[in-house]
Amino acid sequence: MHASHFVRALLVAALAAGMAAQAQSTLHRWVDKDGKVHFTDTPPPPDARSATQKRYGQSADEQPLPYATQTAMQRNPVMLWVAPNCEPCTQGRELLASRGVPFSERDVQANIETQTAFRNVTGDLNVPVLEIGASRIKGFEEGQWNAALDSAGYPRERPYGMPPTKPTIANLPSAPREAAAPAAPTQPQ
């Protein structure tokens, strides 16, 4: 092997190693107590505000949420109350996923504690119910849900390349007690 071929091979190997290291690097953005924005490759201090991180070389489903979505989530978290075999519940879930809205989901039939919590929140057992922060919408009506999500600061469309969101299942654990069949929810709205 000529020296020039050896140097080229060495450069290609070094470049590949550098790209592999960069593919796993993380950049942190944070704001200090004086309002100064910092970009570092080390995690921010505990008193940092508005901390976000970006990993390079990750797949689309590992990408951090857009800033507007993160802000809306902090101010107005979304909870969707559903029941199995509920078409309006499915339509609501699909709307949230298509907009890229992170949400928690509770099945009102999961256990008696979840059903009791739902009844305390809504006064009945009609599903779906969408909670956005402190506001609550009973039944599914696409225009009404979109308007409420817009008001809460959620982006209208999922960013290009971001996969649809999936719910976080947030049912309450069942406490050991005598077996009692939960009442079935009334007709979906």
Is there a domain that residue 131 lies in? yes
Instruction: Report the chain's mean pLDDT, rounded to a whole number.
Output: 78
Model confidence at 7: pLDDT above 80: no
Is there a domain that residue 74 lies in? yes
Is there a domain that residue 57 lies in? no
- Give the span between the Cα atoms of 90 and 98, in whole angstroms: 12
Domain CATH code at residue 73: 3.40.30.10
DSSP string, 35-101: S-EEEESSPPPTT-EEEEEEETT--GGGSPPPHHHHHHHHHS-EEEEE-TT-HHHHHHHHHHHHHT-
Q: Which pLDDT belongs to residue 148?
A: 98
Q: Which pLDDT belongs to residue 55?
A: 60
Is there a domain that residue 125 lies in? yes
Q: How much is the average pLDDT of 148-177?
A: 78
What is the percent of the chain where pLDDT is above 90?
38
Q: How many other β-carbons are positioned within 10 Å of the β-carbon of residue 100?
A: 20
Q: pTM of the prediction?
A: 0.59
Q: Which pLDDT belongs to residue 161?
A: 75
Query: Where does the pLDDT of residue 49 fall: very low under 50, low under 70, confident under 90, or very high at 90 and above?
Result: confident
Is there a domain that residue 96 lies in? yes
75 vs 14, which has greater pLDDT?
Answer: 75
166 vs 144, which has greater pLDDT?
Answer: 144
48 vs 171, which has greater pLDDT?
Answer: 48
Task: For residue 89, give the nearest of 72, 115, 107 by alpha carbon.
Answer: 107
Q: How many domains does the chain have?
A: 1
The contacts of residue 184 (CB under 8 Å, 6+ apart) are: 109, 125
Structural tokens at position 45: 């201090």
Give the C-alpha distances (Å, rounded to integers) separating 137 from 6, 8, 109, 115, 159.
68, 64, 19, 18, 25
The contacts of residue 22 (CB under 8 Å, 6+ apart) are: 56, 57
Q: How much is the average pLDDT of 52-74?
A: 72
Burial letters 101-132, b for 16+ CB under 10 A, else e: bbbebbbbbbbbebbebbeeebeebbbbbbbb
Domain range for 104 is 66-171
Is there a domain that residue 97 lies in? yes
Helix (H) or strand (E) holding 109: none
Task: Give the model confidence (pLDDT) of 108-159 as tens digits.
Answer: 998 898 899 889 889 999 999 999 999 999 999 999 999 999 999 999 988 7
Model confidence at 93: pLDDT above 50: yes
What's the half-sphere exposure (Cβ side, CA atoms, 13 Å) at 175?
Answer: 6
Query: Where does the pLDDT of residue 179 fall: very low under 50, low under 70, confident under 90, or very high at 90 and above?
Result: very low
Is there a domain that residue 56 lies in? no
Is there a domain that residue 3 lies in? no
